[in-house]
Homo-oligomer: A and B are copies of this chain.
Amino acid sequence: MTKTKSSAATIRDVARQAGVSVATVSRYINHNAPVSAEVAARLETVMVELHYTPQANARSLATHRTHTLGLLMVDIAGDFFPPLLSGIEAVTYENGYDLLISSIREPERRRTFPLPVGPHNTDGLLVFADSLDAEGMQRFAASHFPLVLIHRSSPEGLIIPCVTVENKAASCTIVEHLIETHNRRRILFLQGPGEQEDSQWRELGYREALEKHNIPFDPALVAPGNFDRVIAYHSMQQLLARGVIFDAVFTGDDEAAVGALMALNEAGITVPDAVSVAGFDDQRMAPFLTPPLTTVRAPTEEVGRVAAQQLLSLIRTGQANPLTLLPTEIVIRCSCGCNS
């Protein structure tokens, strides 16, 4: 109780107060060498009394490990983000790691080194979609800095572990559902962003479903959705204005479904009677839309969990699975025409 300085207690304060060396305190804290029961008890008391918490940076400097993971995101504001972050944070916490997050808004920032997060403050990085370009990854890879890619595959020539979701088969299945169960044949597809791999796979699934049922692919039925409510809304309005005939729409993702549903609604076109709608992701609002959205469930929180686990594995063992493809499943609600 002699300590009245306002600054936090250090390992030396603890050592002094307990009458041992700092080495012993360190060993006790880290449980990496035996400490006599007597000393342990004394240490415990002193540490509690002094509110002692080891300084993270001093520890990092000595061990060359920060015990923190970095997350590089493109857009923090979407509905897709919370479950992903939640999964990542949970695993990070469970493993006693810290989580540093950074959002890359402007494209230039993707290659302006040093990034806000990197080897200087983390042990490894979770890279979401195109928050980092191939050149940036190349640079990290060259220095053997652990990277795990989320919803994006490794660029040509590099082998970086990826975790993403099965897009194509599920897209095919849900479009086939529209065709087989609801007799739809003129099915609109709202394309996601061109550079997004998810988007490309979903289009392939859409085309495959068409092919399997001998429905010719019609470019006039493809319009930009961009995984974005507003863009999808405007696309639908234009399609409607141009008098394009269709009896269903596969919106690419749930965000676009929200915009499509609104445009349809405003135009007085009833869903699902006149037009069936199907999305992808099964975001939180999907069951609450009018009508409740038929969609594909993507296990986004699980993607976050697995990605964090893979990164931890890479950091600790140098090993990780080159590709983790998480399964998706169809969720039938009402917007396709079922359950009405």
Q: How many angstroms between the C-alpha atoms of A117 and B98 in the bound complex?
A: 8
Q: Which of B55, B57, B76, B118 contacts A89 (CB 8 A)?
A: B76
Q: How many angstroms between the C-alpha atoms of A54 and B113 in the bound complex?
A: 12
- In chain A, positions 241-292 with a C-beta closer than 8 Å to chain B are 258-259, 261-262, 265, 284-285, 288-290
Quick check: which of A35-43, A78-86, A219-227 contacts chain B, the rest being far away? A78-86
Q: How many angstroms between the C-alpha atoms of A76 and B79 in the bound complex?
A: 11
By the criterion CB–CB under 8 Å, are A229 and B288 in contact? yes
Q: Which of B53, B58, B90, B284 contacts A119 (CB 8 A)?
A: B53
**A103 proximal to B (CB < 8 A):** yes
By the criterion CB–CB under 8 Å, are A100 and B103 in contact? no
Closest CB in chain B relative to A270 CB, distance in Å: 12
18 contacts between A and B (CB under 8 A): A6-B143, A56-B66, A57-B57, A61-B61, A68-B100, A76-B85, A76-B86, A77-B83, A79-B79, A81-B82, A85-B101, A89-B101, A90-B103, A93-B103, A258-B285, A258-B288, A285-B285, A289-B290
Give A residues with C-beta under 8 Å from B.
Answer: 6, 8, 51, 53-58, 60-61, 66, 68, 76-79, 81-83, 85-86, 89-90, 93, 98-103, 113-114, 116-121, 139, 143-144, 229, 258-259, 261-262, 265, 284-285, 288-290, 301
Given contacts A6-B144, A61-B61, 6 further A-B contacts (CB under 8 A): A6-B143, A57-B57, A79-B79, A89-B102, A229-B284, A261-B288
